[in-house]
Structure 1
Amino acid sequence: MQKFIQLGEGYGDVFELEALIQNNHQRIKSGIYLHVEGKPSTFILVMAPVRGNFQALYTIYQGIPMTSKSRQKYKIINENLEKYNISKVEMTTRDPGDFHDRTQYFQYMLGVLRLNNLIPPLS
């Protein structure tokens, strides 16, 4: 079972993510950016499954600005991924606004991530 766990907002989310990477880098499978044109990107930190099939997917939901002026969060995350040799994937996805609510968007993304072999299939 994969579960999205949303981190805080503002710069607090990046500091939480940075601590997660530093303290759990041995459990991290990958970092995934989900880009939507003209909107801030979403970032997902994919953890290895624990205790059976539970897999945490820590996310910064639409909190990574991608304009040329404000890419500081993107830079901080990438530096941490590189420091611990964690693979990074970047992909373009549907706009979360296309969905009725955030839960539907996350269900859609679970399917996309499974189809692209970025997380394991349901078992």
Structure 2
Amino acid sequence: MMQKFIVLGEGYGDIFELEAIIEHNHHRIDKGIFLHADERPATFVLVMKPVRGNFQALYTIYQGVPYKDGSGRKYQMISEWCTAHDLSVIEFKTRDPEDFHDKEQFFQYITGVLRLNNLIPPLT
């Protein structure tokens, strides 16, 4: 199994892309995951079901979901869309993305965390 993080646009583009994916492909979605780091906007990962047996897309809003004590407009919108399509949403506290040299190192770390928690399949 191979997972690939696909970062959605920035600004408002990310939320519109995410809404379209959830609305039109909800049958292909496995789950949604909010990744929280202290004092930073959350990262959201939309985990798709594997296709062709060995590829799994992980659509991501990287550090783009303002969140404070369970509130934030983007956070609420994403949660509502997932609830409307009966998609499970998991929340994790993770290391700060700024702890890593670049975004790809952060994604490698998150891949390991998700695999260890059986939220995505192991590498095959």
TM-score, normalised relative to structure 1: 0.96
Runs of 4+ off more than 2 Å: none
Q: CA deviation at 1:52?
A: 2.5
Q: Distance in 2 between matches of 1:103 and 1:89?
A: 22
Q: Distance in 2 between matches of 1:91 and 1:52?
A: 27
Q: Sequence identity, in percent? A: 65
Aligned length: 122
**1:104 aligned counterpart, secondary structure:** helix
Question: 1:52 aligned to 2:79?
Answer: no
- Write the deviation string for residues 8-65 of structure 1: whole angstroms up to 9, x where unpaired: 0112111100000011100100000000011100000000000121000000000000
Give the root-mean-square deviation of aligned CA atoms.
1.0
Question: 1:27 aligned to 2:31?
Answer: no
**1:58 aligned counterpart, secondary structure:** strand
Residue equivalent to 2:41: 40
Residue equivalent to 2:4: 3
Q: Distance in 2 between matches of 1:14 and 1:76?
A: 9
Question: 1:122 aligned to 2:123?
Answer: yes
Q: Distance in 1 between matches of 2:119 and 2:68?
A: 26
TM-score, normalised relative to structure 2: 0.95
Corresponding letter in the other structure for 2:72: R
Residue equivalent to 2:15: 14
Q: Distance in 1 between matches of 2:104 and 2:59?
A: 14
Q: Distance in 1 between matches of 2:109 and 2:7?
A: 16
Corresponding letter in the other structure for 2:117: N
Residue equivalent to 1:99: 100
For structure 1, the 5+ residue unaligned runs are none
Q: CA deviation at 1:67?
A: 3.2
